[in-house]
Amino acid sequence: MTSNNRPDLKKSLLLIVLSFVLVAATPYAPVSAKPGNNLFADLDYKTIDSKNSLIELAHSRAAQAIDSFYRLRHKLGGFNGTVMVAKDGKAIYQGAFGYGNFASHDSLSTQSPIQLASVSKPFTATAILLLAEQGFFSLTDTLQTFFPEFPYPGMTVEMLLSHRSGLIDYSVLPAEYFGKGIANLTNEMVLNYFITKKPALRTRPDRMFIYCNTNYALLASIVEHTTNMSFKAFMDKFIFKPLEMNNSFVFDPTIDTITGTLSYDSRGKLWNNNIYDGVAGDKGIYSSAEDMLKWDNALRTGLVLTEETLRAAYTPRSLDKYSFVGEKDKNYGYGWRIAKQADKSTLIYHNGFWHGSNNVFARDINDGYTVIVLGNKSNQGNYWTQPVWDVIGQLKNFSNLAEVQ
């Protein structure tokens, strides 16, 4: 799929509606990843025959440092998961540590599908932006456009994307709020709860940024309403299959017997699904480290969204005095967190936490570096990727010097 032949959703969805009506890591020698230790001090520009050879050698040295860091995290910090570090869409380092199934001791691999948790949100945002690009609706449309009985006036698609709706978070509400005897809460049930119960808003729409899972559950419902497809089927047809993300899917507990890699608490006890696992859009997508690199490539090369739409997605949307107080270098766009780095580069990223999954998907859009960490055993240390970025920082400096030489 090239940038010139993105899927024609109107044609494809018309056919679907008509048919509906008619009927493991490479071992590396240990190298210190500590900041301040120059990983490339002994590389001599004069004795290496080409710039490409020099950069390849530097990448190999960087991979050794990153591997040393995660081997130590696995041994002493309980890290259980997969890692992918890339430059311009090509892997510099990939590794897998621990088990996908603790009982059977099935080892993880970079192809293991792991619950992305909130790293699902950029996918949901992309589905919305893709539909908007092709004229199905506008981001300024209110929710009454899709759901006429929705009780909160003035709330737009854009506000859901940027977490400025003011809605309460469905995922913190007791299960009984949605009814008795429900085995699996669904997106439709969440929508109906807000329509019928009309819970009070936390703040008026568009007043400030408040991170809220309800926003992305409702966005998935908008995809379903607009396309007459399940969110699961839409993502599979228009995102996962075209990009050959063969280990990625939206989990549906009513039809999926295989849930991908199992999830564990910090002590290694199996973390079973609960009533909220039936809701998707805010979470619920499983993917592998290898597939996430394909996803990163698709975003970088315009395979899914236009450059104009991506710029809009990466634009800070909460500049008012109430939002991100004390964190002026951070913000949120359409489905992406945004952070300015010390070297002036921009980090476009999203972290995720659900059950035993702690994940990182971070993209330096200025210099082309990507860090992917997917963990299936609860571990807050998974978010500690600064040592990796320290290595990347040295690699940036070295590459710049290589260009000069």
Question: Per-residue pLDDT tens for 369-380?
Answer: 999 999 999 999
Which pLDDT score is estimated for 64?
95
Which pLDDT score is estimated for 201?
98
- Asked if residue 245 lies in contact with residue 300, where contact means CB atoms within 8 angstroms, the answer is no
Write out pLDDT tens, residues 23-40. Answer: 323 333 334 445 457 887
Between 373 and 53, the higher pLDDT residue: 373
Instruction: Flag whether pLDDT at 332 surpasses 90.
Output: yes
Residue 349: both structure tokens together: 């990223």
pTM higher than the cut 0.75 = yes
Which pLDDT score is estimated for 344?
87
How does the average pLDDT of the chain come out, rounded? 90
Q: For residue 300, how many C-alpha atoms fall within 13 Å in the half-sphere facing its CB?
A: 21
In terms of Cα–Cα distance, which of 355, 356, 367, 361 is closest to 392? Answer: 367
- Of 52-56, 139-143, 295-299, 320-324, least confident by mean pLDDT is 52-56
Please, which residues have CB within 8 angstroms of residue 52's CB and are 6 or more apart in sequence? none
Residue ranges of domains in the chain, CATH in brackets: 9-30+80-378 (3.40.710.10)
* Rounded Cα distance, 386 and 371, in Å: 10
* 212 confidence band (pLDDT: 50, 70, 90): very high
Q: Is 203 helix (H, G, I), strand (E, B) or coil?
A: coil
- Burial (0-12, 13-18, 19+ Cβ within 10 Å), 137: middle
Q: Is 83 helix (H, G, I), strand (E, B) or coil?
A: strand
DSSP at 137: -
| Distance of alpha carbon 349 from the chain centroid | 7
Amino acid identity, position 9: L
β 114-115/106-107 pair status: unpaired
β 249-250/285-287 pair status: antiparallel
